[in-house]
Structure 1
Amino acid sequence: MVVGESYSIWAARVDAFANAPIPNSKFRFPNSQFLIPAMHPRLLVTPLFTLHTFGALLAAAYLAALWWLMRGARRERLNADTLASLGMWAIAGAIIGAKALLTIRSLPQGASEVWSLSLLTSAGDFYGGFLGGVLASALFFRLHPELAFWQAADLCAPAIALGQAIGRIGCLMAGDDYGRPTQVRWAVTFTDPDAARLGGAPLGVPLHPVQLYESIVCLALFAFLVWLARRKRFEGEIILAYTLLYAAARFVLEFFRGDDDRGFVFGGLLSTSQFIGLILFVISLVLLRVRLRSRVVASR
């Protein structure tokens, strides 16, 4: 199979659906696409430094996630300082893991270019960051055996989704993780050279705003996890629900991605993120069943 062939087929079907007239309705999207103007990749430019929008929103995403985590810690009457330290360990692991997986994917082009990119303009691969955060958190739990793993992980899940919702807006502003070319009425067209230089987005081409799609999905996932947390049946339900649902959503969203250099497996059948997502989906589903069954047995 040609790399990206399945993606093109799915994208074409979505485009046809989106451009189809709505029966018995006067509602229409505007014919022109949204433009991402020159001001968005750079939030502030001074003679001394440039503040990139992506970097500012990435920092906001981390701060929002930490705020929600500490809020949950106080609600659960856990040590907020310990949870804050856990969050910082997870963030550090996520930063290293994101760059590490991006480096592995980019070996044919040269790893030095990946690490030369500032965190202010590129964060790396999300699943690499997720796995790096998990490994760093595992080490933290080993150093703090008094902290209940599943309880703390449940508190982290909505925080991660909230951070993703904010961070993906930064990707949109930078032209990073851009979508496939499309003619849907809500397409975005990048015009700033920085979007091409830093994010790789093609200029002047209408694209699926896949970053916005994922931001909306993660915001909805955050709301669902908050709702589910109030009805939690067993420890671990929230974090496993997050990994299960996000993996499924990300699998679909990958069909709309246009950055074909992000890595593929099985001859282009699946992207790297889809492959990792499938593994996480299966693991999460199995653990959900095991922990639910353990709860039922314990209640007898």
Structure 2
Amino acid sequence: MEFMLGVIDPIAFSIGPFPVRWYGILIVSGIILGFFVAQREMVKRGFNEDFLTDMLIWAVPLSIVGARVYYVIFEWDYYKNNPERIIRIDEGGLAIHGALIMAVLVAYIFTRKRGVSFWKVADIVAPSILIGQIVGRWGNFMNQEAHGGPVSREFLEGLMLPDWIIEQMNIQGTYYHPTFLYESLWNVVGLILLLLLRKVNLRRGEIFLSYLIWYSIGRFYIEGLRTDSLINELFGGLRQAQVISLVLIVVAVALIIYRRVKVNPPRYLDS
């Protein structure tokens, strides 16, 4: 790791002429860590050891594509004039909502073909999705992106942050809200909550739906602090990520109520 004027070099190392960025390392690390956590629970819940691997072979690359396509769509004014940069995901620009939409679609199709419950699989992998998001947000930190508005150094010191975080939030002489950190910490609390909900033995599907609710609440408020990345405003001045977060909250709550009243699904530990 190279430090220059207190700023972390986004390139971890190079293999010949090819730079390897912290952004990519952290995303891959989050996926691997999430895999091992989900795999352990998969086996406990009676799945074949190869099931998750087989699903992720499709889900991971397609989710990255979905995350990039989503980002490019909402930043089309830039990319239509710079089409050669559309594939440069090493520079950042992966939208979590795009990845989530694609991952859910792939998982739904895959589970249907394997003849297993989508909701059962979604409950198992929900904590791992948060793990990937917790680690992945630090990739934004390394790239000095997805930050909030300007703040003083004194404000950051008041949060009792170490100097290496404070200085990384110093971008061209201005300090910014470390919104990556806010979201990462919010997701850590969410991860603990989801693991506790396993013991509560909720109805099938409700752990995943609780993930959607928890993440979306945090994203709604944190997105309001951000000044870069996807800040396209839609209804009532809300940003697109805020609108999608509200939609996810409403849909998730509605599904919990509907499935309890109409479906009466089995419980997590009983399935």
TM-score range, shorter chain: 0.7 to 0.9
Stretches of structure 1 that go unaligned for 5 or more consecutive residues are 1-34, 192-200
Q: Distance in 2 between matches of 1:113 and 1:298?
A: 49
- Determine helix, strand or coil for the equivalent of 1:162: helix
The AA in structure 1 aligned to 2:257 is: R
Give 1:105 deviation, angstroms.
0.6
Match in the other structure for 1:285 = 253
Q: Describe the shift of the 1:260–1:103 C-alpha distance in structure 2 as closer, same or farther (beyond 3 A).
A: closer
The AA in structure 2 aligned to 1:116 is: I
Match in the other structure for 1:229 = 198
Give 1:130 deviation, angstroms.
0.7
Q: Distance in 2 between matches of 1:263 and 1:107?
A: 11
The answer as to whether partners of 2:138 and 2:180 remain within 8 angstroms in 1 is: yes
Q: Does 1:122 align with 2:99?
A: no
The answer as to whether partners of 2:6 and 2:168 remain within 8 angstroms in 1 is: yes
Q: Does 1:264 align with 2:233?
A: yes
Query: TM-score with structure 2 length normalisation?
Result: 0.85
Q: Does 1:185 align with 2:153?
A: no
Give 1:48 deviation, angstroms.
3.3
User: What per-residue deviation string (whole Å, max 9, x for no partner) do you get for residues 108-128 of structure 1?
Assistant: 12242552313x332511101
Structure with the bigger RCO (C-alpha within 8 Å, sep 6+) is 1
Root mean square deviation of aligned Cα: 2.5
The AA in structure 2 aligned to 1:82 is: F
User: What per-residue deviation string (whole Å, max 9, x for no partner) do you get for residues 21-61 of structure 1?
Assistant: xxxxxxxxxxxxxx983434122245433221111101101
The answer as to whether partners of 1:36 and 1:190 remain within 8 angstroms in 2 is: no
| Seq. identity, % | 26
**How many aligned positions are there?**
253
| 2:108 maps to which of 133, 138, 149 | 138
Answer with 1 or 2: which has the greater Rg: 1
The answer as to whether partners of 1:36 and 1:173 remain within 8 angstroms in 2 is: no
Stretches of structure 2 that go unaligned for 5 or more consecutive residues are 160-165
Query: TM-score with structure 1 length normalisation?
Result: 0.77
Q: Describe the shift of the 1:190–1:297 C-alpha distance in structure 2 as closer, same or farther (beyond 3 A).
A: closer
What is the correspondence of 1:1-300 to structure 2 with a 5 Å cutoff? Answer: 37-45=6-14, 47-111=16-80, 112=83, 114-118=85-89, 120-145=90-115, 147-183=116-152, 184-186=155-157, 188-190=166-168, 202-259=171-228, 261-266=230-235, 269-294=237-262
Q: Describe the shift of the 1:260–1:150 C-alpha distance in structure 2 as closer, same or farther (beyond 3 A).
A: closer
Q: Describe the shift of the 1:244–1:221 C-alpha distance in structure 2 as closer, same or farther (beyond 3 A).
A: same
